[in-house]
Chains A and B, each alone.
Chain A
Amino acid sequence: MENKKKMTKGATIKRLLSYVVSGYKLQLVVVLVSIIISSLVGVAGIEFIKYLIDDFITPLLGSQNPDYTALFNVIMMMALIYVVGVIATYIYNRLMINISQGVLNKIRKQLFEHMQKLPIRYFDSRPHGEIMSIYTNDVDTLRQMLSQSIPQVFSAVVSMATILVSMLTTNVYLTLVVFAMVIIMIFVSKYLGGNSSRFFVKQQEDLGKIDGYIEEMMEGQKVVKVFNYEEESKNKFDALNEALCESNTKANMYANILMPCIMNIGNLGYVLVAVIGGMLSVNGILTIGSIAAFLQFVKAFTNPLGQVSQQMNFIVMALAGAERIFALIDEEEEIDEGYVTLVNAKIENGKITETKERTGIWAWKHPHKDGRITYTRLRGQVEFENVQFGYEENKKILHDITLTAKEGQKVSFVGATGAGKTTITNLINRFYDIQEGKIRYDRINIRKIKKDDLRRSLGMVLQDTSLFTGTIKDNIRYGKLDATDEEVIEAAKLSNADKFIKNLPQGYDTVITGNGEGLSQGQRQLLSIARAALNNPPVLILDEATSSIDTRTEKIVQEGMDKLMKGRTVFVIAHRLSTIRNSDLIMVLDHGRIMERGNHDELIAKKGMYYGLYTGAIEID
């Protein structure tokens, strides 16, 4: 997964341009035409003056009663041309906004959509701030490039091409001098631009790092305070900040000196043309007028070149950003080769048929290779067969796990911290994929089940409760999006969250922020249980779901839970052994292996590890 090839600059540009071209073809054509018109009008302006003086003013010189009509007419004509130019300028500026903002919108959308499809592993290993920086900093650099740099560069190229044609028609040899000058300019640009781009890339990286650090420190702000770590965190930040400042300075410096270099090489070229031209004119090869004109062209030629070079740093920065954007978009998605889906079902005469109605009965739709489709009723039986798993390839966390949770059974995992309890549940919903062995759901290998459908059939209350900014109601409704208010309240009552919610200033409409400040850990857990209750799945996974709820509340929650668990297969991970006493099956885990299994009474009678844990007599860590 890590051997991603780094895209070349060319490929990045091509890919970026494909966003612009696809979807905006017509507008793009109009933009290009408008830019051409606008730059041609600009060049025409230079020609106009020469024409005006030679053809309209000079003839009038010395006349007693000058007739200004012709002059007036030509100026009016020029005014018309200028108006066209101004309109063209407005059109391309205006359309570029559509295009650039549209592209940005699309890119952000793609980023987010793709991010949703990435495996949990991806999020484990990356600081959130770094990911967020892609959405803001990197996308922002693209805006500058798309709306400003690209049209300016194009306009400059058009102007230069026009002037080049004029130069060539004036004198070929002098044009060669200009060519030589341009080659030197390109050389210098390449050197300076290369340096600049190297540091811009570094700058964006440093920015991402600093983002990640800020993000982390913000989230751990309480710990920072409790440990008086403000100074250290400042120092660490300062070091990162210093590194950013350095790359930032260097990148900007190379970019900044590019323009004066280009302009002054232009000036040197001008001298060269003047000297060579002068010599040619002394020898009578060139007329004085054409040298003068040519020199004007040289000046007019270097100006847009300077403009282009000034845009280079924006472009380089944007390309670095684009690379990071594309890297995320190219990140490998969660693999889902499943083809078994979950459908609403009807049972008639013992035969299962698919239906569109919400019958409350679900079935796995299993298409076979020979075209047959079979239906298996969703019951919630989960089996593990010789499952091996490790987060890293050569470090196994679970060894040879075999177990069966029959429909409606309550299976509990106990064991020391780090014994692998949470890991087991993360395998059922395929947050991680097992390396060896098989997990079956209703006798179907879970690899064959579409991930979305698999997860839809499982309810989870996780160790870390995550809430979203919005009302309490919205947060519970996350479990079932089309739930009515009554259903939401029903679920809250079931999990005993109703009581504290009613005490909040706005009840169910109280707005909470994402980190749920103001709610206690226990209250947040109650919300997350209510969410699962509303979801109403056949299989429930409760990962230390009640660890922060006081035992009194827990008792009441437990009653609700028992109601909720009825008829469901439930996996419980809990440290409070009192809550799992009534389990049908208790698995005692140690170092990733199942050491004992059985129900409470059996295990107590066995006087083994469970007994030890239960009485606190032995340390199984």
Chain B
Amino acid sequence: MRLRRIFFRIVMAGYTENELAEDLNQQEYRYGFVTDIASDVAPAGLDEQVIRWISEKKKEPQWLLEFRLKAFEVWKSMEEPAWAHVAYQKPDFQAISYYAAPKQSKKYESWDDVDPEMKETMSKLGISLEEQQRLTGVAVDFVMDSVSVGTSFKAKLAELGIVFCSFSEAVQEHPDLVKKYLGTVVPMTDNFYAALNSAVFSDGSFCYIPKGVRCPMELSTYFRINAGGTGQFERTLVVADESSYVSYLEGCTAPQRDENQLHAAVVELVALDQAEIKYSTVQNWYPGDKEGKGGVFNFVTKRGMCETQAKISWTQVETGSAVTWKYPSCVLKGDGSIGEFYSVAVTNNFQQADTGTKMIHLGKNTKSTIISKGISAGKSQNSYRGLVQIHAQAENARNFSQCDSLLMGSECGAHTFPYIECKNAGAQIEHEATTSKIGEDQLFYCQQRGISEEKAISLIVNGYCKEVLNQLPMEFAVEAQKLLSISLEGSVG
């Protein structure tokens, strides 16, 4: 994604899809460059030795090493899931290197100490931390490959007792918190990729918001895959203590690579009583080229646990990856808790996406909303897969789901797999679904007003996704709009 912060321009001038299109001058994947920083890479392959090596490298406590080894045992007994509506060459797990850290042993004293080449990478991504700090008020924890290289605004957050740091740092400095919550929402036994991640996760982000604190800024982390042939296994853990609030942004880019790269992250959200977590993702991992060669495999497990009257809201704009397998979910455990899922998933060329959500209603008076917008173009396949599960004790549960699919061209596919399991007769469940094609008459109408076909498509698509884009923080929404246009360039006609 383009991470350039254009927030201020927008506030001053307003932003139209027109300006948006003007800003687009490049059709190819924008972030296809490789930074040459001597990496500290683990040898390919996975066995107990490698796991011990990673753990030692990170100077982890014994309990975490045991956690990893146990997960590895579990993983060995599991098989890769095959139920998703995607077809791909299974990764060779012994050919992947499980750890790559930029070789830079000492901690940075100040921003000036940061490796210039690393800065260059960041500025290509458009997120120089200096600019970030000066202009936007967004605290960024930048993850390059597996090690977090820069965290800003830490001091300010610390005043409020907020912890926002890399996962490894949290393990060293807040081991009790990590130990208490790690694996509680996504157990290592959950699925094949969650088990793999639990065994080999390298780094990620950790966030803790204390009781009653409203985090004053959007917390944001950018992940990207850098070294060739390495998988990335982040671990994100966000804990919002009672009556707290946090909005968390996650953006992803990956350089262009020929071989498929594996990305298997785990994100766990814990919203304690009356807490609220808003988690927004804009994802554009490299989707592969126009012939379907290369691209990232994105097999991610994301789940949130809502205690009494807590609320978790997932918003995602997915335009990247060759294969996506992802279901950000909410376990509505506490009475009166709320889960929301807003999603735009775009697939073009040969991309395949099987994505959706799970809303598990356990508590009384729990509520969930699902708004899913799929856009398929080229020869891509786009599937929505969702589960709404109402347990017997979940009195008065309510769900509303809306799944819309938009097709561009005649060679793509849109699929919807909604599962509903209801064990309580008092539940109220609504499901709406539409499938449409971009209308010739809509395009003609726009063109008759002087708007080019490309801009007309961008306009219509952004209008179609508006309900989801509106959920994103403003600067993120603009980037998401741009991403949609980039992803769909040249897909009609």
A, B from the same assembly:
no
Chain B contact residues, CB within 8 Å of chain A: none
